[in-house]
Structure 1
Amino acid sequence: MEQQNILLKIQSMGNQFTKKERQLADYCLSHQDEIIYMSITDLALACGVGEASVTRFCRKLGAQGYQDFKVQVSISQARVGAILEAHADDRTGVEHRPEPEAAAGQTDWAQKVFLAHRKALHETMLLVDEKTLLSIVQMFEQADRIHFFGVSDSLLMAREAHSRFARVMPKVVCVEDPHLQAIAATMMTERDVMFIFSYSGASKDAVQVARLAHEAGAKVAAVTHYTKSPLTAYADAILLTGMREAPLERGSMAAKTAQLYLIDLLYQRFYERNREECQKNSERAIETVVRETY
């Protein structure tokens, strides 16, 4: 059975909503393109309600939660777009046929992907705050141990950051299992730094470990897209990544490119300030790798 269009469902349930739910319904219907890029905190602030009200609203519509609600909105928009396109073909008398592969052109696709990555990099560059970047570098310098954390796709970024910094300093670790991350967070002290990746800032596992680390007295630095989210409430420093990512585009390579740019930017800044130590450690790392190469 085909899932009901959630946007039409919002319209049809108008008389069943409370006052706060009506505010959410009106906003969602008039800002359909924007809400799929908004965090739960953003939507709550825009409508003047609490995050709990947003969650209840989503569940009343049959969604499992806010993220599921955004996915259903994206699917509903895609279906409406397909119907409108089909009707347009009917009105013009033009038979709708899939474009042949040759007509699509490999060069066009290559340019489209390139432009998406370039846009992600440019937006992220404009969002970089030098003071924040420097404060994170100083956290790294003063820390006894630096923990790189992430969940799911964000774990890939944590691995990349760990791999990059492990070549120039011995005090970095990357814990991959969410349960072990939580345990490690509770063991942290004021001499530890947690550097965590979460595009949405709303992953329950990410928020939990950030909260545990914050309560343990550790410094928390985050890479995320949203300035206000459950995660940023526990962050001492935030690096923002560009590239808006819709629910159906989660894990996009362009968004990862933007995060990789921030990792390299932070690395270069750290290396510049600690050149002698970094160069010595880097040479030792290279010698080790060379000895393992045939």
Structure 2
Amino acid sequence: MADYILVRDSEIVYETSSEIVSKVKVGEGTLNRFCKKIGYSGFQELKLKMTKDILELESQKMSSDTFIDEIKNNYLSIVESTRKLIDGRQIELAIKLIREANQILMIGVGSSGNAAREFESSLLRIGIISKT
């Protein structure tokens, strides 16, 4: 009985007690005793609790999906705002100066320091001498 309920928890909420006892091949009394043994007054109370639990889990999942969508949309907005601030001519000039330089020195504090170290690593990988 317990195995059937655990494996088919989302189906049980749509089944009658008669359908379950027929599938598990036990009597109605066995189902009722099982429900009482696990703390419910009967099968209907067990079904109600399982339905509430399933709805709560689905609600939490939807909340998680909504949260993830919100984060994604925020990042897309930041990327789009940054793209609008970029002047293509300035980027081309920076690329030209980096290619022509003998050595690149970068200075940054805090998160700018992290970005400088990451850029240093990228430049070193392509053979440009750099130091933070």
TM-score, length-normalised on structure 1? 0.24
Query: How do residues 119-130 of structure 1 correspond to structure 2 at under 5 angstroms?
Result: 119-130=77-88
Query: How do residues 144-293 of structure 1 correspond to structure 2 at under 5 angstroms?
Result: 144-174=102-132
Query: How do residues 58-73 of structure 1 correspond to structure 2 at under 5 angstroms?
Result: none
Q: Cα distance, 1:169 vs. partner?
A: 1.9
Query: Greater relative contact order: 1 or 2 (C-alpha under 8 angstroms, separation 6 or more)?
Result: 1
- Does residue 102 (structure 1) correspond to residue 60 (structure 2)? The answer is yes
SS of the residue corresponding to residue 131 of structure 2 reads strand
- Counterpart of 2:106, as a letter, is F
Task: List per-residue Cα deviations over 1:140-168 (Å, max 9, x = no partner).
Answer: 12211101221012111111111111110
Which protein shows a greater Rg? 2
Query: How do residues 68-147 of structure 1 correspond to structure 2 at under 5 angstroms?
Result: 102=60, 105-147=63-105
Task: List per-residue Cα deviations over 1:226-248 (Å, max 9, x = no partner).
Answer: xxxxxxxxxxxxxxxxxxxxxxx
- Alignment partners' CA distance in 1, 2:128 and 2:93: 20
Task: List per-residue Cα deviations over 1:28-65 (Å, max 9, x = no partner).
Answer: xxxxxxxxxxxxxxxxxxxxxxxxxxxxxxxxxxxxxx
TM-score, length-normalised on structure 2? 0.50
Please list every run of 5 or more consecutive structure 2 residues that lacks an aligned counterpart in the other structure.
1-58
Task: List per-residue Cα deviations over 1:74-113 (Å, max 9, x = no partner).
Answer: xxxxxxxxxxxxxxxxxxxxxxxxxxx9388111111111
- Alignment partners' CA distance in 2, 1:135 and 1:170: 17
Aligned length: 74
Q: Cα distance, 1:170 vs. partner?
A: 3.5
- Counterpart of 1:153, as a letter, is S
Q: Cα distance, 1:128 vs. partner?
A: 1.4
Task: List per-residue Cα deviations over 1:2-44 (Å, max 9, x = no partner).
Answer: xxxxxxxxxxxxxxxxxxxxxxxxxxxxxxxxxxxxxxxxxxx
Task: Name the CA shift for 1:135/1:170 in 2 (closer, same or farther; >3 Å).
Answer: closer
- Alignment partners' CA distance in 2, 1:172 and 1:162: 6
- Counterpart of 1:123, as a letter, is S
SS of the residue corresponding to residue 144 of structure 1 reads coil
